[in-house]
Amino acid sequence: MRNIKELKPDKNSRYQQGYIKVSACKKLFPSLYHQPIIFRSSYEKKFIQWLESNPNVHYWGSECIKIPYSYIDNQIHNYYPDYYVEMTDGSKIVVEIKPKNQTIKPNEDNNWAYRTWIKNTCKWKAAKKFCEERNMQFQILTENTISRLK
């Protein structure tokens, strides 16, 4: 399996994808200046804009935390949540951004959607445990929550 940072934006994707210039980011963790900042949807792009404009955000990083998880194949895989955020009040948040329809259990007849949902729930369960052990929060944001960000 390739590292998430090796998965470049896809011009043929049905989602808006691209790069954010590191020089445009004033709140990015300094240790991440050498890594590309990739947004994989318009929701992620909007979230990055919110991170940069929110006075309560101290630092943030994109796909910078690795969380091991197991899936139905009983092997250990690595999950890289979309964002890690440190707020000015000291709180720490791990954020995953997903379309709302991918956060709801699909009909088992749709094999791809069902397997994807199972895989995501395994990732999210591991992320919740990882965060609880480190006094951090885990949040899944959808288009509904992203559209309300100010």
* Residue 96 is a catalytic residue: no
Note the pLDDT of residue 7: 64
Active-site residue (options: 44, 63, 96, 123): 44
pLDDT in tens, 37-54: 989 899 999 999 999 999
Count of domains for the chain: 1
Does residue 1 surpass a pLDDT of 50? no
| Domain range for 71 | 14-146
Q: Is residue 40 part of a domain?
A: yes
Active-site residue (options: 45, 46, 92, 98): 98
d(CA 3, CA 7): 7
d(CA 98, CA 44): 9
Q: Is residue 8 part of a domain?
A: no
Active-site residue (options: 63, 82, 96, 123): 82
pTM of the predicted structure, to 2 decimals:
0.88
* Residue 44 is a catalytic residue: yes
CATH of the domain at 68: 3.40.1350.10
Determine which helix (DSSP H) or strand (DSSP E) holds 78, and give its type and residue range: strand 76-79
* Residue 86 is a catalytic residue: no
Q: Identify whether the C-beta of residue 77 lies closer than 8 Å to the C-beta of residue 1.
A: yes
Q: Is the dihedral of CA 54, 20, 30, 66 positive or negative?
A: positive
Does residue 142 surpass a pLDDT of 60? yes
Q: Is residue 6 part of a domain?
A: no
- Output the six-digit token pair for 106: 């699909």
- Output the six-digit token pair for 80: 């890289």
Q: Is the dihedral of CA 73, 78, 80, 81 positive or negative?
A: positive
Q: Identify whether the C-beta of residue 42 lies closer than 8 Å to the C-beta of residue 15.
A: yes
